[in-house]
Amino acid sequence: MVKLSVVVPFFNVQQYAPDTLRSLRANTAPNYEFVLVDDASTDRTPVILEQALDSLPGARLVRHERNGGLATARNTGIDAARGEYLTFLDGDDWYGPGYLPKLLAAIEELGTDFVRVDHVQSTNRGRNVMRLPYGRRGVPLTPRDAILPADRSTSVDYAFAWAGVYHRRVVDAGLLHFHDGLRTAEDRPWIWRLHREAASFAVVGLLGVYYRRGVATSLTQIGDARQLDFIRAMDLVIEETGADRDADLLLPKAVRTYCAIMAHHLGTIERFEPAVAKQLRTMCAAALRRLPQDVLDAALDSMDLRRAARLRRLRRWPAGGSAADAGTEVA
């Protein structure tokens, strides 16, 4: 029986894939499998993955005929995975040697639905340890209790799917799959659903997953229309959280997070192509009108003045209007 499945999507990462694959080879075990998903890469990534099959024990390669994006690629990997436990890695990141056995031991010892871990962020300037914003560690907890408070960074703000490991029962309950087609922010509705609906989780202070920040081909670095999928992702968070039995308690956190993400993108709007920047403003204005207005008022009141003012100006746009119609700038 396969004990652990590692789902690794790849798309046009020929520069980084060899490092990723080397790190997997430093984490093999007889009952591990590595589900490599080629999301229709157009560079040498498919050749690199094909060659890796001979040198990476437990490796299986799944190919997409068309590029589907990270959420869809992860779903393909989840569907192909056979392990009792599942975890993720992105095709331009890597594991430290011996990391996976420690990760697996943590969830087996704690017996929870999922375990979340810290990670190391790697940039050209160095490495920084990034801690999951939750204080209690090494004990089973109720995931729902880690969503709040609304005005502080919490576990749902640490949305990295690869920063953890998940029991097969989470897959069987329909909680581990991502919303198909999301090109960015795919982790946002995913982490919220996991925390609302799973029965147990734990946080452990284990380092060993390395996140490569600032990759030129990453969507976080590209200012095209795919970046705007954060609107659809956060709309899903609002919709699903609004249907929850504790909606009155949880919606303020969801709305405040949505506002913070909108303010961030609007504050860095110069990195977007002009047509996409215009679309961003229009879509954010419409999103603000869709939110429950009393909850939105409270969220804006709790934010810093600069970000709140940016969103309030945008909120005044007439439906179907523009910055010129409102007589204001929002950048």
Q: Phi, psi (5° rounding) for residue 187?
A: -75, -20
CA distance 59 to 27: 12
pLDDT at 216: 52
pLDDT at 324: 45
Structural domains present in the chain: 4-220 (3.90.550.10), 223-324 (no CATH)
Indicate the length of the chain as a whole number. 331
Residue 66, burial from CB neighbour count under 10 angstroms (0-12, 13-18, 19+):
exposed
Shortest CA distance to 259 belongs to which of 304, 296, 219, 220? 296
* Range list of H helices, 198-246: 229-242
CA distance 190 to 175: 8
CA distance 221 to 202: 32
Q: Average pLDDT per run of 10 along the chain, which is 331 residues long?
A: 97 97 98 98 98 97 96 98 98 98 98 98 92 96 97 97 98 97 94 98 97 66 78 98 98 98 94 92 96 97 95 84 46 47
CA distance 266 to 217: 21
What are the Cα distances from residue 174, in Å, to 75, 84, 250? 11, 15, 21
> Which residues have a Cβ under 8 Å from the Cβ of 311 and sit 6 or more positions away?
259, 262, 263, 266, 284, 288, 300, 303
| Geometric angle at alpha carbon 210, from 152 and 268, rounded to 5° | 50
Q: What is the DSSP letter of 89?
A: -
Both tokens of 120, joined, read: 């190391």
